[in-house]
Chain A
Amino acid sequence: MTAETPADPHGAVTVDARVLAEELAGAEGRAPSADVAEYALWLGDDALILSQQLGAWIARAPELEEDVALANIALDLLGHARALLRYAGTIDGRTEDDLAYWRDEHEFRCAWLFEQPNGDFAQTIARQLAASAYQFELYSALQDSADPTLAAIAAKAVREVEYHRDHAVQWTLRLAGGTDESRRRMIRAVDDVWPYVDELFRDDELIGRLPGVAVEPARLRAPFERVVDAVFAEAALTRPDEFTAAGGGRRGAHFPTLGPLLAEMQVLARRHPGAVW
């Protein structure tokens, strides 16, 4: 991997993760409290797991442009995850890579929505619609956080997530208004994904301990529903509400998809500790 590689002006870069953490906007070298670090882990793990899932579409999407689109969205999400995990890790000196590659399943804090399988393209789009509409409202509100690092990450992320939401909205309209087959699949996808939406808006003791810093999940439900209901109305879809999944991701109880996903994501780092390229 190293000896035969031709000289690349950017190939031998190593960046000290601790230096990067100190450079993060607003942090001013201060580590977060344990509660803020846990909250950053919630949001960072949502972004990381969704990014990893979308990466699996590359070279498999329905058209070349979608390979590129989903890869770009995954890259943005990875950027959000890196900033959030880096910040979370400063509390005990762990790097973003330590947190991504060396935690086990029960130590992850992502919600079940982000762990739902890619399924067919319609299911990925339904998951993207829910995830991006939620993250848009979350980051919009988090821009006003009393924690300057979280506020800076959110202000950066919100514009990117707005674009992800546009992408999901356009595909939802196109699939729902397309052929009988695309409409049938879109309806099934929304039915499959929506039970996992409720978990995103549940209050938690942690949030109660972070007034002004974290965003209360319950207050995001109404703006989220205003957006998705407008899209569903335009697409002549009905928002399912009969069934709600148990959830538990914030406590480390995960959907069965997460273990295999982590095994694939972490294998290289664990087989070759310290490897760089």
Chain B
Amino acid sequence: MTEGRAWAVAAAVPDPEVPVLTIADLGILRDVQETGDRVAVTITPTYSGCPAVDAIRDDLVLALTEAGYADVEVRLTLSPAWSTDWMSDEGRAKLRAYGIAPPGRRAERSGPIPVQLGVACPRCGSLRTREVSRFGSTSCKALYECRACLEPFDHFKVH
């Protein structure tokens, strides 16, 4: 079910590591079932080891309890596996405005040697960017630098 007050409350909970995004923007809010003052929320982790899951679980319980729900249950599902293709267009725009280059769409690949696609700088829009590290401050980000405006920036990885 995707309508209703409980969904709206759950959907507004921010991601603890990228607070400009809500968990709905991120695409990890999968389901909200509401019966009277009972609510069951299903979320899916971004990455298997992502430590933000426990914080999100707490934040959901807190937000829904404050909204008047007496019995809040948060379930975790691994299937289907999360993909950045589930990130909303609004979420992508928010990320760019926040200074994080949003993920592109998942591409098919043809061999074991990876081909890097261009990532536009979220500050100046230039494609003259360079990957500094495939891994960044959280599981979901890589570190880039822009050769046009010389600023470093995070790229939300395609996943």
Interface of A toward B, CB cutoff 8 Å: 9-10, 13, 15, 20, 23-26, 65-66, 68-69, 71-73, 75-80, 82-83, 133, 148, 151-153, 155-157, 159-160, 163, 165-167, 169-170, 173, 227, 230-231, 234
Contacts and interface: CB of A to CB of B under 8 A. Distances in A.
B136 A152 contact: no
B67 to A, nearest CB: 17
Contacts of A133: 112
A155 B79 contact: yes
Contacts of A165: 112
Given A65-B132, A69-B135, A231-B112, A76 B48 contact: yes
Given A26-B78, A76-B49, A133-B112, 17 more contacts: A25-B77, A25-B79, A68-B135, A68-B137, A72-B136, A76-B48, A79-B47, A148-B79, A152-B81, A153-B78, A156-B81, A156-B82, A159-B81, A160-B48, A163-B157, A166-B134, A230-B113
Given A65-B133, A75-B139, A76-B48, A230 B111 contact: yes
A66 B159 CA distance: 20
Q: Majority SS of interface residues in chain B? A: loop
Q: Majority SS of interface residues in chain A? A: helix
A173 B114 CA distance: 12
A151 B78 CA distance: 10
A243 B120 CA distance: 48
A151 B47 CA distance: 16
Interface stretch (B7-15, B31-39, B50-58): B50-58
Interface of B: 16, 45, 47-51, 54-55, 57-58, 75-83, 111-114, 132-137, 139, 143, 157, 159
A151 B77 CA distance: 12
A77 B134 CA distance: 16
Contact of B50 (A10, A65, A79): A79
A157 B49 CA distance: 10
A160 B137 contact: no
Given A69-B134, A167-B134, A169-B114, A80 B48 contact: yes
Contacts of A76: 47-49, 139
Contact of A77 (B49, B113, B159): B49
B48 A65 contact: no
